[in-house]
Amino acid sequence: EVYRARDTILGRDVAIKVLPEAFARDAERMARFEREAKVLASLNHPNIASIYGVEISDNSRALIMELVEGPTLAERIAAGPIPIDDALRIAKQICDGLEYAHEHSVVHRDLKPANVKVTSDDVVKILDFGLAKAIEGDAWSMDIGNSPTLTHMATQAGVLLGTASYMSPEQAKAKPVDRRADIWAFGCVLYEMLTGKMAFHGETTSDTLAAVIRAEPDWSLLPKDTPSRIRVLLQRCLQKDVKQRLRDVGEARITINEVISGAPAAAGKPEPSASGALEAMSPRAAAPVSAPLWRRALPWAIGAIAGASIAGMLVWKLAVPAPAPIKLVRFEVAVPAKTALAVSNAFALSPDGRQLAFVGIGSDGVQRVWIRALDSFDARPLPGTESTIAAELLFWSPDSRRIAFTAHGKLEAIDLASGATQTLYDSPEAGAVAGGSWNRDGVIIFSEGGRIMRVPASGGAASPLTSANSSMEDIFPFFLPDGIHFIYLRASTSKPGDNGIYVGSVGAQPGKQDSKRLLATGADALYAPSSDPNVGQLLYLTGDGTLMAQPFDARRLKLTGDAVPVAQQVGTFSSVYALFSASANGVLAYRSGIGGLAQLTWFDGQGKALSTAGNVDLYEQPALSPDGSKTVVALADTQSESSALWLFDFSRKTSTRFTFGSAEVEYPIWSPDGQRVIFASNPNGEQDLYQKAANGASGEELLLKSNEPKFPTDVSRDGRLLLYTATNSKTHYDIWVLPLQGDRKPFLFLRTISNEVDGHFSPDGRWVAYGSDESGLYEIYVRPFSPDPTAENVSGAGAKWQVSEGGGREPRWSADGTKLYYLTSDWKLMEVDVTTSPTFQAGTPKLLFQAPPQPSPTTGDYTIDGKKFLFLAPQQQTGHVPFDVVLNWQAALRQQQ
């Protein structure tokens, strides 16, 4: 039973498919319903109606599905045959949807015109995968009596079973079926579109099934101008012997594409004539007609003369054999046993396509670079690449002999032959490098602090290629073949509409790069060479996880053709790092799943995991309530590239969405009384400051709007003052104070030429702990605080104390103000004894435990009492998902472009 309904939360119309009550009482059907809902949810394709969720209420089960407007194909056919050109365009989209489902091990088993809709934009949507089964699932046999489309009336004489006309012969005989049953049904649908008549029908269900098993369609009903290749395709789809039937619906798609585009038949396969095609489909060839002797002898004479010529041609052909067609090869590379990929899922193919490098965590818990030769079964870790930082880059030298990676806060390279490592660049930010590339002229480019930087491959000082900008990041650069130009991803926090792939040059001055955008996308891209030295493929990811390839002229820096899909359900890390890599010689590797997954986890003071909360998801920045009973956490949405806040109640074990809309909402903090949550959001472009009642009883209230991005960090214990970090084009990050009462006019607390971030009030309100990179490395400092706006510390002069040693970030006070906690760059949790009266004093930092790597630089609140600590524990769910490797992937691409 299907209903139209309104989703009032997301503001959209949906279709609700409810399992009838009689089925709901059947435990086997209920289990099957839920199992098949999961199968349908795994399909994500523009020609397949999407499933949004499953609703469970008492004994009722319902699928919440995409509402597809427009008539069904059955309704269109009821008005008469569909013109050939329109029918082929529809058939091609049906093939696309079925091919995707088959590649993901799903068979529809109930394809018919009533289960196909055509929208007003001529987009085909295949509906109702309710009979779908995973090909690789448990062994089963099809029982006609279990078809959901079969009602109790179907057993009555004279009532036609709706799906019988489209059942394959093996279905009609109740035998096991596979994807070729869908190919049969597709043939029936295409025949019906062209003729307006069912390929098989009868007065009763039994008559219809008998026609399916024994009869032939009436081929004379096909329009006279039906292309002969389509006639042959129909005959191959409707072969009753499943072994003789077309084996792959992708072949049908290729044939239809060729007919639509007017492409000639493949070489060596002459275009069949219409009469020849009909004769081939006829159950019996017509009897030969006698002809005069001279007329019968003439072809033999001509054949003898031509034979001599052909023989000579054959000798030449045999002497110069034709090259074998390039074949596409797919296989999987498993992650080694007892090994998980690092949080970022970083990996890269060598330029020669022979080796795969990835960042893995072994059984000893240490993160290293691993390498796996594609002609070997074993992967091995590379000594000297150990690090506890989740690397977001891994790239090769152009000769495939060295690998660049991040470790120990440095950009390093390892020589595979000697095992020697070399420091290429040493910087406080090197541990957070986002992408890099290496050209043949010995130049390396990478992203640091939101800028594209260059450094010699021999190591040394780095210089910027793009300018720092507080409202955007330039990340994931990739060299083009000339070694001068490169592409990179620009991600803007203030203007998401500017996100996309841009072109830069190593010869341009900072701030003077070509700002031309190639395409709009939210994830990184790379260039793959082809047989044409000037035109290769730009590979990039769409929001739904589809890997696309688009011809790109690397000489003119211009896209030159249409994009076509290469792979589906390709994963990402933090929604911007796409999990795919391509070599220079036609090898492609990618992974499904999403990197950056984590779970809220409580730890004790020794680092022992105590308990978890919520599901595994893309969480960031958890903020503990003052009593520690709740947390608000930012949850990323990979489809919309935005995030919302969710509220977790630890005692009730519940989670509820706290903010709504399409804006990016992040950096939550609590008011001291636990009544409000303050956060940053960008509904109007820039990140502004908002607050909302913690019980959700009121809407979002704007606290501060200004022209620069900003985010809150702490509220004084009396609830009167808010500390926040704001950006400045000259001084970068500064710390400001916003009065939460009165005129709410902000005033500056600390501004220097260095970055000051993450300010936190001491419990008595007299001190502020913060992070600064004034020494070249982020350290934790404490300064006295005055609520007097005239006491702003513009120059940074005045009393201050350094608390951390060897780097630190994320300072947090204990509730009684006697301790300060902070994290090192490699995620060690440190504790410092402090006194705040009559003056400030700090003891020696001591290690508590190794905290798990966090998915974002700003961790959020992680303790209230110093006894329990809340962190996001990375989940290596994708660790056991293999790498998908495709050899000669552009061979298949040429068939689509």
pLDDT at 386 over 90: no
Give the position of tokens 């292309």.
227
Q: Which of 220-234, 265-279, 280-294, 445-459 ranks highest by mean pLDDT?
A: 220-234
Length of the chain equals 897
41 HSE (CA, 13 A, CB side): 11
Using only C-alpha atoms, what is the Rg of the chain?
33
DSSP assignment of 764-799: TSSEEEEEE-TTSS-EEEEEE--S-GGG-BSS--S-
8 Å CB contact between 826 and 388 = yes
What pLDDT sits at residue 17? Answer: 83
What pLDDT sits at residue 786? Answer: 84
DSSP assignment of 381-420: E-TT--BSS-----EE-TTSSEEEEEETTEEEEEETTT--
What's the mean pLDDT in 294-300?
Answer: 41
Grade residue 858 by pLDDT with cuts at 50, 70 and 90.
low
What pLDDT sits at residue 679? Answer: 94
What pLDDT sits at residue 577? Answer: 77
What pLDDT sits at residue 850? Answer: 87
Grade residue 856 by pLDDT with cuts at 50, 70 and 90.
low
pLDDT tens per residue, range 321-331 = 545 555 678 88
Which among 596, 593, 585, 594 has a CA at the least distance from the CA of 349? 585
Q: Which pTM was predicted? A: 0.48
8 Å CB contact between 333 and 344 = no
Say which residue, 61 or 290, is predicted with more confidence.
Answer: 61
What's the mean pLDDT in 436-449?
Answer: 90
Share of the chain above pLDDT 90, in %: 35
Which residues, 6+ apart, have CB-to-CB distance to 413 below 8 Å? Answer: 397, 402, 403, 404, 405, 421, 422, 424, 457
pLDDT tens per residue, range 796-835 = 567 899 999 888 889 999 999 999 999 987 678 999 999 9
pLDDT at 244 over 80: yes
pLDDT tens per residue, range 504-563 = 888 776 666 666 789 888 788 999 998 787 889 999 988 767 889 999 999 889 999 888
8 Å CB contact between 443 and 454 = yes
pLDDT at 251 over 70: yes
Which among 247, 250, 227 has a CA at the least distance from the CA of 236? 247
CA angle 116, 122, 127 (to 5 degrees): 20
